[in-house]
Amino acid sequence: MKEAIHELLDQPGIWRANTPHRGPSSPARDHVPSGFAALDRALPGGGFPGSALTEILYEAHGVGELRLVMPALARLSRSGRWIAMIAPPFVPYAPALAAQGIDLSRLLVIHPNDGPQALWSVEQALRSGTCAAVMAWPSHCDDRSLRRLQLAAESGDSVGMLFRDSTAATERSPAALRLALGESSGQQLNIRVLKCRGTPPGAVALDSWSTAPVRPQHPLPLEE
Amino acid sequence: MLWLCLHFFNLPVECFGDTEGETFPLFVSQAGRVIGGNRPARHLGIRSGMTPTAARALTEDGRHRLRDPDREQRMLERLATWAVQFTPRVSIEPPMALLLEIEGSLRYFHGIEPLRRQISEGLEQWGHRANTAIAPTPTAAWILARAGDGTPVTARPALAERLASLSVNVLPLGQRATDALQGLGCETIGALRALPDDGVARRLGRALLETLQRAHGERPDPRRNWQPPNRFERRIDYLEAITTVDGLRPILRQLIDSLCTDLRYRDTGIMRLRFVLRHRERPPTRLPLGVLSPTRDAGHLKWLVDQQLDNIALTADVTAVSLQAGRFHALHGTSEALDLLDRDDRHTTDADWRTLIETFDSRLGEERVCMVKPLAEHRPERAWCYQRPGRTVEPLAQPSGTARPAWLLEQPLPLRSPRGRPEHNGAPLVLESGPERIETGWWDGLDITRDYYHARTANGQRIWIFRDRRGQRDWYLHGIFG
């Protein structure tokens, strides 16, 4: 006969730190494969957590924060639901996004006026139930608003991806997954897993990290 | 041709709103005589011809209105707009009747009686009462309806006989003609028709003779088809200016209700509407509102308005509010149809998605809600555009060439390049691939000649830069690979 504590622990709502969940309480469809085998292996469930917030912290635009999520987004954009991009820092360049497999007729781009409107927009999109993923670049996000967004992602069954400055790494966050991008050197992107439900923090290095087509490592001579 | 006349004998009362279902008695008077009342008033014994004083003695809390021909005309126009669903040939016969040419519609509605039933069910729903009559000429239909004779006359030979037995009082007679007819001892239309035409014209007026001739089909009786106005506009003025957003809210909601009532009469929906808030000595404020598929769902529109009101501050007092709506659209019945179908994920998602876009539109403004679309163009800054959500984005054949960055800068950003070597934030850039020469656009004067490179900054950013091959051969940052 099972002990009460085991029955309790079998409740799907309970997760235990340090115990990677792969049981029926977190079936594979609750996670979105990142498309990077090394990262998927490091994350419980094999990818970005569904119905939850993922924070991606980075120092400067262009270190690989978008390419990290592109394969997952490309897959989600073909799932019948929508992808929302909220307060992107630059123009989402249609030819490049299409080339990376994003179905642009499923991509919504929102330019809010200010920080509060951006947070409002993220919450609406997450909660609506119609967005498979919501990517957002909020200028400011405190613990309380993160909590709201986390709840919205849960109720709307949406993957929330917040792109934030790496200084946020020291702040508390209710996000299910927090990744900090280190420097990408040549063929490798270093990722620190700051927080992940069901697994201890760690680090991953993604290989074959470069813009296609692959280029020589030495500087090109300038044509004069 | 076959004409159906709807005679709204109680229109002077009905034009004051949906009064039949109300609990308060309401009666209308003209020239010191009651001319009609709603159902509670009739129950109390208020009858046409009473003096208003006598009527008021029967009801303490009853409402008394003076006849308002403008209101009646507007109501008649609304009814005409509604009636267009039965036939495109609807004409207004002031002050209280509509004429519908129904011959062409009979097959569609499976005959006279089903059509009549449908019309009367519709009228009942709107709280209107009408006598209907059917005859081969519009004037005859009108006369029969005024007489309350609803048995259809479908053949012209039967027409004269049916009209002959009607009292002359159903004809539009002036006092002079009434007196003259009494003097002649002429009580029915049949007796009137037996008189010589020129005698009738001389004694009773040419207009009456012509009416009789039209009714009998002896004179052409052309009618102008009613054209429903293709826009809606309603304005409310206030003596006391409105100073708060919360004061504004009930007014906008009320206007939405009247718009949606109008849309139901028209059996259409709307996609765009606009509130105009007028101020003293200041230009008006406009609040546009849009939805992605035609609607007449007042609740949904009110919700969108609330979203917008939550987000504005009144910069000046409001003295008048109007609601304008153009372009009416047929309702495809999508939302209703979807509820009946199995609630397939994809479908519900589409409906929810529309709601999400509309929410964003009303709160942020439409220009902030978009999709991106690639364009077949070699100049990078022109190889894309924004478009409104709701349309499919056709994928383009991928242009050959090297990878493009996921982020594009709105404007290329000049880079410092001491000794011709490009720098970013004071550190030299490492060029990883390139050049890709883009040289195009000579035909519209916006030509470019650039060499593009993939580059890496000192802190690991991957960026897209170019060197302008003209002028100072300057370097620019144009994209970020993300």
Of B321 and A14, the structure prediction assigns the larger pLDDT to B321
> For residue B165, is pLDDT > 60?
yes
What is the pLDDT confidence band of residue B102, given thresholds at 50, 70 and 90? very high
Beta-carbon separation of B479 and A93 below 8 A: yes
Please tell me the predicted confidence (pLDDT) of residue B342: 38
Residue B472, pLDDT > 90, answer no
Provide, rounded to the nearest whole percent, the portion of chain A with pLDDT above 90. 43
Q: What tens digit of pLDDT does each residue of B174-194 get?
A: 788 888 888 888 888 998 888
For B404-434, b/e burial (b = at least 16 CB within 10 A) is bbbbbbeebeebebeeeebbbeeebbebbbb
pLDDT (0 to 100) of residue B415: 93
The mean pLDDT of B391-408, rounded to a whole number, is: 72
CB contact under 8 A, B480 and A62: yes
List, as ranges, residues 327-356 from B with C-beta within 8 Å of A: 345-346, 349, 352-353, 355-356
pLDDT value of residue A209: 57
Task: Say which range, A90-99, B57-66, B87-96, B107-116, has the weakest mean pLDDT.
Answer: B57-66
The pLDDT of residue A212: 41
Residue B482, pLDDT score: 82
Mean pLDDT value across residues A138-160? 92
Burial of A49 (0-12, 13-18, 19+ CB in 10 A): buried
- Range of lowest pLDDT (A100-104, A207-211, B312-316): A207-211
What's the whole-number mean pLDDT along residues B137-155? 92
A18 within domain boundaries: no
Name the pairing type of β-strands A159-165 and A52-58: parallel
Interface check B399 vs A, CB under 8 A: yes
Span of A46-55, B209-218, B235-244, B312-321 with lowest mean pLDDT? B235-244
For B131-147, give one letter per residue: b (16+ CB within 10 A) or e: bbbbbbbbbbbbbbbbb
* Whether residue A179 has pLDDT greater than 50: yes
Mean pLDDT of B144-171: 89
Band of pLDDT at residue A12, cut at 50, 70 and 90: low
Residues 6+ away with beta carbon under 8 Å from A209: A64, A67, A184, A186, A187, A188, A189
Q: What is the pLDDT confidence band of residue B140, given thresholds at 50, 70 and 90? A: very high
pLDDT at B12 over 50: yes
Compute the 3-state secondary structure of chain A and give helix, strand, coil in percent, each to the nearest 5. 30, 25, 45
A14 has a pLDDT exceeding 60: no
Confidence of residue A30 (pLDDT cuts 50, 70, 90): confident
Share of chain A above pLDDT 70, in %: 77
Q: Give A185's pLDDT tier (boundaries 50, 70, 90).
A: low
Delimit the domains of chain B by residue range.
3-16+68-216, 232-334, 407-480
Average pLDDT estimate for B203-222: 90
DSSP letter for A24, please. T
Give the least confident one: A204-218, B165-179, B449-463: A204-218
Structural domains counted in chain A: 1
CATH of the domain at A86: 3.40.50.300
Residue A27 has a pLDDT of: 40
Q: How far is CA A167 from CA A54, A65, A181, A196, B465, in A?
A: 16, 15, 12, 18, 28
Q: Which two tokens stand for residue B277?
A: 């808030």
Report yes or no on A73 lying in a domain. Answer: yes
A214 located within any domain: no
Please report the pLDDT score of residue B242 as a whole number: 87
Structure confidence at residue B349 (pLDDT): 60
Of B194 and B22, the structure prediction assigns the larger pLDDT to B194
Whether the per-residue pLDDT at B395 is higher than 70: the answer is no
pLDDT of residue B130: 93
Is residue A222 situated within a structural domain? Answer: no
Q: Which residues of A touch B409 (CB under 8 A)?
A: 90-91
A88-97 confidence digits (pLDDT tens): 999 999 999 9
Of A104, A184, A222, the CB nearest to B393: A104
In the prediction, which pLDDT does A94 show?
92
Q: How many residues does chain A have?
A: 224
Lowest-pLDDT choice from A59-73, A152-166, B271-285, B325-339: B325-339
Q: Do B355 and A128 touch (CB under 8 A)?
A: yes
Residue A195 lies in a domain: yes
Tell me which CATH code domain B232-334 carries. 3.30.1490.100
Average pLDDT over residues B362-391: 88
| Residue B292 tokens, joined | 């992605």
Answer yes or no: is pLDDT of B341 > 50. Answer: no
Residues of B in contact with A131 (CB under 8 A): 356
Minimal CA separation from A213 to chain B, in Å: 7
Q: Strands B475-480 and B462-468: what pairing?
A: antiparallel
How much is the CA Rg of chain A, to the nearest whole Å? 18
B370 neighbourhood in chain A, CB within 8 Å: 108-111
Close Cβ partners of B18 (under 8 Å, ≥ 6 residues apart) = B126, B127
- Give yes or no for residue A173 having a pLDDT over 60: yes
Distance from CA of B466 to the nearest CA of A (A): 12
Mutation for B interface: A73, A91, A97, A126, most B CBs within 10 A: A91
Report the residue of A211, A215, A217, A218 to disrupt the B interface, i.e. the one with the largest count of B CBs within 10 Å: A211
Strand, helix or coil for residue A34: coil
Q: What is the pLDDT of residue A208?
A: 59
User: pLDDT higher for A86 or B345?
Assistant: A86
Q: Which residue of A has its CA nearest to B434?
A: A220
For residues A135-143, average pLDDT: 91
Which has the closest alpha carbon to A199: A170, A173, A182, A179?
A179
Q: Which residues of A touch B368 (CB under 8 A)?
A: 110-113
Round the average pLDDT of chain B to a whole number and report it. 86
pLDDT digits (tens, 9 = 90+) for A31-56: 888 888 888 888 888 889 999 999 99
Question: Is B247 in the A-facing interface, judged by CB distances under 8 Å?
Answer: no
